[in-house]
Homo-oligomer: A and B are copies of this chain.
Amino acid sequence: MRIAILAHEKFPDRAKTALGVLRYADHDIVAVLDRDRAGHRVGDFVPDVQDAPIVAEMASLEPDAVDALLIGIAPIGGGFDESWREDVRTALENGCDVISGLHSFLANDEEFARLAAENDCEIRDVRKPPADLTVSQGVASEVDAEVILTVGTDCSVGKMTTTMELARDARAAGHDAAVIPTGQTGIMIEGWGNPIDRVVSDFTAGAVEEMILEKGNEHDYLFVEGQGSIVHPAYSPVTLGILHGSMADTLVLCHEAGREAIHGYESFSLPSVPTYVDLYESVAEPVAESRVVAGAINTAGLEDDEDAREAVAAYADALGAPATDVIRFGTDELLEAVL
């Protein structure tokens, strides 16, 4: 699929979804839309992902050069920004599909719905859960595949990235591995999945289990994208639903170097690394024997490689298990621990 990614005024640092798609998706990225950086290229800012031109608007692209426009950023609150309307309108008028992970569904917008119908194209709101979800049966452990789940000390510490890196490198090493996407970026990259944070709370575990059952006998390894943290004041139910619903064999604990309090909830300190290990394992235990066998630490905030190595070593020590920064130092040590 030939994709344009909308990332106005936020590329690259505040465009997590755009970056994830550029880095991991199996799409041909025709352009990134960012009116602040038009004329540059992706490679000017981010060296290690698919390169593409940055343009100011959808109208700058040939009408038949793009199959889908993908919304690659999310404003606080997850709503639609009216300054993007002209680009979405142009895309639909050109017969492009539109893919969005916003909380507010674009298919509910009257103009967009009308344009999509008129031009025979599709609006895919990936954050809209399927209608046929139900409660977990507690049987995810019956699949043949080994299930590896990323869990975290907080939100935005690298769970999606770690999942994607491990799955890609496992495949490159000849293993039959698949990703189980649970959030908007993962779903956009993989082209399927359940947006677990939007599922009815009673069906949280069931929506994960359904995916494990669907893929679990087709692959040797399933890498499940985790969400939130078991002690997050707001998002912990999503985390626990994924933990119990996946009945993971193996957990990889993700953390950001230097993070000491819950992001956006700074009055809550992060507990110690061993406390996280104990919490994840003990709350999983009556449902599945999930064990933390490795750690992934995001050291992007540390400029010096030596500092990064020290942070990795300290983290591995606290964890009592192998750890690394998967972007900075690769995945070899983690794959050895989880495969």
A residues with a Cβ closer than 8 A to B are: 135-138, 196-202, 204-206, 230-238, 240-241, 244-245, 265, 267-271, 275, 278-279, 282-283, 285-287
Q: Are B279 and A201 in contact (CB under 8 A)?
A: no
Query: Which of A137, A202, A269 neighbours the largest number of chain B CB atoms within 10 Å of its CB?
Result: A202
A231 touches B283 (CB 8 A): yes
- Determine the distance from Cα of A111 to Cα of B285 in the docked complex, in whole angstroms: 48
Chain B residue contacts of A232, Cβ below 8 A:
244
Q: Is the CB of B283 within 8 A of A136?
A: no
Contacts of A244 in B (CB 8 A): 231-234, 236-237
A155–B95 CA distance with the chains assembled, in angstroms = 51
The answer for the CA separation of A286 and B244 in the assembled complex, in Å, is 20
Q: Say how far A108's CB is from chain B's closest CB, in angstroms.
A: 13
Q: Which chain B positions have C-beta within 8 A of A282?
A: 275, 278-279, 282
CB-nearest residue of chain B relative to A267?
A: B138
Q: In the bound complex, do residue B138 and residue A234 qualify as a contact, i.e. CB atoms below 8 Å apart?
A: yes
Looking across the interface, which residue of chain B has its beta carbon closest to that of A140?
B233
| CB-contact partner of A201 in B237, B268, B271, under 8 A | B237
- Is there contact, CB below 8 Å, between B206 and A202? no
Given contacts A198-B200, A204-B237, 18 further A-B contacts (CB under 8 A): A197-B200, A197-B202, A198-B202, A200-B201, A201-B201, A201-B237, A205-B237, A206-B234, A231-B244, A231-B283, A232-B244, A233-B244, A236-B240, A268-B287, A270-B286, A271-B285, A275-B286, A279-B282
Chain B neighbourhood of A286, CB < 8 A: 231, 268-271, 275
